Structure 1
Amino acid sequence: MAAQEASVVLKTQQRHEPSKQPHQAGDHRSLGNATAVTTSMVAGAVAGALAKTAIAPLDRTKINFQTSQIPYSWRAAIDFLIRSARTEGVVALWRGNSATMARIVPYAAIQFTAHEQWKRVLRVDTPASAKQHPILHLIAGSLAGVTSQSATYPLDLARARMAVTNAQEYRTLTAVFVKVVKEEGFTTLYRGYPATVLGVIPYAGVSFFTYDTLKHTYLEHFGAPQSGAVNVLFGGAAGALAQTASYPLDIVRRRMQTARRARVRMRTTIAHVYRTEGWRGFFKGLSMNWVKGPIAVGISFATYDAVKTALRDVAVRVGS
């Protein structure tokens, strides 16, 4: 009897005592919001920088065709890459990448962090809630895109100008801002912003929504988180859908950003593209985007998840 009573007392104490076990790797529920935001921003910055550097030559080629009336084809794209490398050197293929990095690091950091925060605000930050409210889940991605684009737009314009000009015209990122403001006015730094916001709404919404949905579906069917390679594939699929949904407005945005006229309106730009190139002009270079877009988005999402998880695992271990 004494042994039985001792056993009962011991079990009762164990039920009421706090758990002494350390946090399991991957359990980030104990992290504060400040830590969650910090790790999201660092992971987003790394993801954006790696993804954009990987596809920088293809990005420069795409912008060159988007902003001109030269007919696009894969042969013409390859000729542009070869000609640029021969006349300006191989490094020229990454021309404008400094402006891209100056923009993409804060852009990606803000976008990924904003996405997590918007999901939290709209209460779709769990697989169950996201599945129950798919429209709110889609809106969270769109709001994340608008937030990051609004915060970094002048850097996007500078990067477009550097990509389509020679090195003598704009030697540095600072030179772009100084020359544009001096010759064309401060408001030029936001030229094309309405088209950009209209384009980023479907792009970011479809991209985040597709990636998260594929991840949640995978987890339901296989009962375990997907590998990094699977994340790249899911990100690629999300990127392909998002690029297709928003590409015509991307054409309009680039034309407005690189125009040298004093006043450039979105309606006028749309009319000019259609009049001179027809409806196909709004999809010029899309086939290249189906290559570079999925690669960039796949690398970006996979890198973000990997870096974020690693940082939060460290934070949990340090705090335990």
Structure 2
Amino acid sequence: MNFEDYETLPTQSSITHMTAGAIAGVMEHCVMYPLDSVKTRMQSLRSAHNGSIAETFRYMVQREGLLRPIRGMGAVVMGAGPAHACFFATYEQSKHTLSQLTRHRHDHITHGLSGCLASLVHDAVSNPAEVVKQRLQMLNSPYRGVWECARHVYRAEGLRAFYRSYGTQVAMNVPFQALHFVTYEWCQSRLNPRRTYEPRAHLLAGACAGALAAAATTPLDVCKTVLNTQEAAGADGLAAAAALVLRAGGPLAFFRGVHARVLYQMPAAAICWLTYESLKHAITTFGLTEEGGPAPGAPLAAAALRLAAADVPAAPSLTRS
């Protein structure tokens, strides 16, 4: 398959991107969820245990039960699907439009701006689920499940509570996604200049993009955690959260959980991009129409199975290009 076949058809079909993006988002978050729980716990102002990633995970399992690291996953499943569907559809459409306007003369700017626009849409959809998820992840969380937590937050704090951290989330994710997409597209231009379907290139480019963007935006992620969990009264905005973090642990407190965040984002981004590009390739290759409906004899499930058997390596290595 040449570049035009792989890139042009999906760019014209939002349903293609939404379907691939939703599946990629759910898979990414479910696979990496335990590490996300560890990261949230390490960033907590009231953490009862400050140690390494392994020590924090072991503490959670030993003191709170084997299933504690996956508590709140239901919120992620409900939020990640629609959020990532909107995210990838917005990114691809923005990239397509801006590339036409600039005639591909400023690709890095195009990729960065497209990532920013996609982030605004994604965060508006995902922020309520993020609030519920992080409250369930906290030590001594009083909630028994996703719906109980959501009802309690709404009754006690109102609808605004679900978007209290939206400004901080956007302030973090706009630079995160701009850096993420610029890095991913740059790595793709080096590892996969023909822009064909190349699983190892997608894995490595995604891992590099996720790691770099995660490390650079950790201070804002710490502030977001403080706002979402409301561990301290009066944390009502980015400046207030930053002041609380600074008082609680000094400048280094802004990098609490940085290793967990990087270790989460590297494989998460790699999984997300590989899944997204694989489904995009399957839909394009095995006969789905431009409008997103299946052509006769070419259902998506069969396409995905054929792709998995034929193209995707069983155990791809992030260290290989």
Deviation string, structure 1 residues 115-137 (Cα, Å, up to 9, x no partner) = 001112322699x71x5342232
Q: What secondary structure sits across from 1:290 in the alignment? A: helix
Aligned mate of 1:164, from 138, 143, 147: 138
Q: What does residue 146 of structure 1 align with?
A: 120
Deviation string, structure 1 residues 48-77 (Cα, Å, up to 9, x no partner) = 111112211111011011122547432xx3
Written as runs of structure 1 = structure 2, the 5 A alignment for 1:60-75 is 60-70=37-47, 72-74=50-52
Q: What does residue 238 of structure 1 align with?
A: 209
Give the Cα–Cα distance (whole angstroms) in 2 for the partners of residues 111 and 37 of structure 1.
Answer: 11
Deviation at 1:140, TM superposition (A): 0.8
Q: What does residue 308 of structure 1 align with?
A: 280
Instruction: Check conservation: 2:45, 2:248, Cα contact below 8 A.
Output: no
What do you get for the CA RMSD once the two structures are aligned? 2.7
Q: 1:159 to 1:125 in 2, by over 3 A?
A: farther
Q: What does residue 46 of structure 1 align with?
A: 23
Give the Cα–Cα distance (whole angstroms) in 1 for the partners of residues 60 and 7 of structure 2.
Answer: 50
Written as runs of structure 1 = structure 2, the 5 A alignment for 1:1-320 is 27=5, 31=9, 36-70=13-47, 72-74=50-52, 77-123=53-99, 129=104, 132-166=106-140, 169-220=142-193, 223=194, 225=196, 227-259=198-230, 261=233, 264-313=236-285, 314-316=287-289, 318=295
Give the Cα–Cα distance (whole angstroms) in 2 for the partners of residues 225 and 30 of structure 1.
Answer: 12
Give the Cα–Cα distance (whole angstroms) in 2 for the partners of residues 233 and 90 of structure 1.
Answer: 32
Give the Cα–Cα distance (whole angstroms) in 1 for the partners of residues 69 and 101 of structure 2.
Answer: 40
Instruction: Check conservation: 1:207, 1:239, Cα contact below 8 A.
Output: yes
Amino acid at match of 2:252: R
Question: Could you say which structure has the higher helix fraction?
Answer: 1
Deviation at 1:275, TM superposition (A): 2.2
Instruction: Check conservation: 2:43, 2:256, Cα contact below 8 A.
Output: yes
Give the Cα–Cα distance (whole angstroms) in 2 for the partners of residues 217 and 272 of structure 1.
Answer: 43
Q: What secondary structure sits across from 1:55 in the alignment? A: helix
Please, which runs of 5 or more residues in structure 1 have no aligned partner? 1-22
Q: 1:218 to 1:41 in 2, by over 3 A?
A: same
Instruction: Check conservation: 2:227, 2:241, Cα contact below 8 A.
Output: yes
Q: What secondary structure sits across from 2:241 in the alignment? A: helix
Q: What does residue 316 of structure 2 align with?
A: none
Q: 1:89 to 1:72 in 2, by over 3 A?
A: closer
Instruction: Check conservation: 1:218, 1:226, Cα contact below 8 A.
Output: no
Give the Cα–Cα distance (whole angstroms) in 1 for the partners of residues 63 and 9 of structure 2.
Answer: 53
Deviation at 1:161, TM superposition (A): 0.8
Please, which runs of 5 or more residues in structure 2 have no aligned partner? 299-321
Q: 1:263 to 1:182 in 2, by over 3 A?
A: farther
Give the Cα–Cα distance (whole angstroms) in 2 for the partners of residues 253 and 178 of structure 1.
Answer: 21
Aligned residues, how many?
290
Q: What secondary structure sits across from 1:73 in the alignment? A: coil
Amino acid at match of 1:152: S
Instruction: Check conservation: 1:124, 1:137, Cα contact below 8 A.
Output: no
Give the Cα–Cα distance (whole angstroms) in 1 for the partners of residues 248 and 275 of structure 2.
Answer: 41
Give the Cα–Cα distance (whole angstroms) in 1 for the partners of residues 261 and 225 of structure 2.
Answer: 14
Deviation string, structure 1 residues 168-216 (Cα, Å, up to 9, x no partner) = x222222122101111222111111111110011111111121122112
Give the Cα–Cα distance (whole angstroms) in 1 for the partners of residues 128 and 271 of structure 2.
Answer: 25
Instruction: Check conservation: 2:75, 2:132, Cα contact below 8 A.
Output: yes
Deviation at 1:218, TM superposition (A): 2.7
Q: 1:136 to 1:32 in 2, by over 3 A?
A: closer
Deviation at 1:26, TM superposition (A): 7.8
